[in-house]
Amino acid sequence: MKIGIRLTIALAVPVAALVALFGLLQERANRVRFQAEMLREGRTIARTVQLALQYALRDSQLQDVQQLADEITGYERVLGLRLLHPDGSPRYESASLRKYPAVPPRTLAEVLRTHRMAEIHLRFDRGPVVAYVVPLFGPSGSVLGVAEVLQLESFIEDEIRASRKEIAALSAVMIAAVAAILFLITRVGVERPIEELVRSFREVGKGEPSSPLTVHRGDEFGRLAEAYNAMCARLDETRKSLLAEQEERRRMEASLREAERMASIGRFAAGLAHEIGTPLNVISGRAEALLRKGGVGEPGERHLRVITMQIERIARIVRGMLDFARPRELCLVSTAPHEMLSKVLELMEPRFEQAGIRLETRVPAELPRIAADGDQLHEVFLNLATNAADAMPGGGVLGVTAERVERRRPEGGGESLPFLAVTFEDSGCGIRPEHVGRVFDPFFTTKEVGHGTGLGLSVSYAIVREHGGWIEVESEVGRGTRATVFIPLRPERVAPASPAAAPIS
């Protein structure tokens, strides 16, 4: 006898035994489950019939009783319905029950005494039956009679037979599959390892990463596969190292190009602001002189005031461009985050009240102090609060929180470091996904024309980066925006916060 046939027989017999055991256990579990389902359905039907019959008997609607009995006969394997007087004499019964005896007197007496449903198992010519006997009560609590609902159990055997056939078919398929697999294994036990080696060598020759060979054997093929896997692992490590170096080089080149671009924009903004500033001052002075002199009439004064307002708007844009282009020198001092945020929110309080914005804060007074330029960080937080207010013109909720967190820097790598995380979360209109990545670009804004220059977040991001931190922005259209500022907590010890300080509320 060939080895393939011996292996097939040796493994097929245990598989067949296991499948048979599984089928037996599954059959028992199905029987228990079917019986539980049948009892649950039968009890529900009996309770429903009890309520319906009580209402029908209270109204003396015997026709409704007959109609109910005819309707439920055959439903969910219901054999029929029988209605008895308290003394056990039949009051009405389905036609299908006339040849079957009524509930035993002992069961009837128990139901009338306990006023509770009883279940009895009977066997008729149609197979096993479960009888559900329920009492019927009148409006005053008096016993009107007893209802008997009979349900067939024979369907359980039908389900078990169908399940047994399915398990037998599955067993045959499994045994055939095992036999076929074993036969194929004996035929390709030598060819398959060689084919895998050839395939892997070709992948490596093309410069593609090769998947490791699976070692199942301890013979020459197994040792060859282990040596090949070790060689591929070393090649893969070398390839990953080269790719990482290339990625780092690309990232540094991209950072350098971005820095050069920002420097060019800064030089352009500074030059443009200088060129605009001089004639702007002349126009502003002439317009203010005409307003003071008078004699231009009411329409002329109105036009001059519009000119003055637009000049002031241009001046704000010019100042923003200068702030963006001007190099900043940090003056780091020990700063209490609680006090700084208190000043910002106090400054914005009239704006919040006017717009109907509710403020929710969680800024503990015991937060650690940070080494920061307070004025510049004040500008950052004020800018974020203003943007949040602009996003909620019809009112909303602004949440401001500050906490100490452990984070890795966004550049990746390195260990987690302590940071102060200050979050501004509004319930405004949100930012579209394609715009979230551009919110820190100079002159980019999603506000309407005349309501923003697109420099606020650029300046704020530059300030935070100079402090060694960064800003993260998350937004969902229609749900709001969350901006989080991360400022590193310096390792040196700083003066503690004032004991009299209290959390912002």
Write the pLDDT tens digit of every residue in 371-396.
Answer: 998 888 998 999 899 989 988 988 99
Q: What angle do CA 294, 297, 301 make, to 5 degrees?
A: 70
Q: What is the pLDDT of residue 402?
A: 95
User: Cβ neighbours of residue 275 under 8 Å, at least 6 residues apart?
Assistant: none
Radius of gyration over every alpha carbon of the chain, rounded to an integer in angstroms: 43
Backbone angles phi and psi of 495, in degrees to 5:
-65, 140
Find all residues with CB under 8 Å of 270, minimum gap 6, and list them: 321, 322, 325, 326
CA distance 323 to 327: 8
Bridge partners (DSSP) listed for residue 485 = 422, 471
Domains and CATH numbers, the chain: 3-159 (3.30.450.20), 215-327 (1.10.287), 333-488 (3.30.565.10)
Sheet with 396-407, edge to edge strand ranges: 357-362, 396-407, 417-426, 480-488, 470-476
Q: Name the residue type at position 167.
A: I
> 407 forms bridges with which residues in the sheet?
417
Q: CB within 8 A of 495, min separation 6: which ones?
A: 334, 369
pLDDT for res 491? 45
**pLDDT score of 220:** 67
CA 392 to chain centre: 26
CB 308 within 8 Å of CB 290: no
Q: For residue 351, how many other CB atoms are within 10 A of its CB?
A: 13
Nearest to 101 by CA among 120, 76, 75: 120
pLDDT at res. 6 = 62
CA neighbor of 440 nearest in space, from 492, 355, 383, 488: 383
Which two structure tokens, joined as six digits, stand for 303?
A: 């036009």
Under a CB-based contact definition with an 8 Å cutoff, are residues 473 and 437 in contact? no
Closest CA to 48 of 151, 128, 121: 151
* Residues lower than pLDDT 50 in the chain: 3-4, 449-450, 491-505
CB-based contact 75:96 (threshold 8 Å): no
Listed residue (84, 79, 118) closest to 100, CA to CA? 79
* The pLDDT value given to residue 199: 73
Neighbouring-strand partners of residue 420: 404, 487
Strands 357-362 and 470-476: unpaired
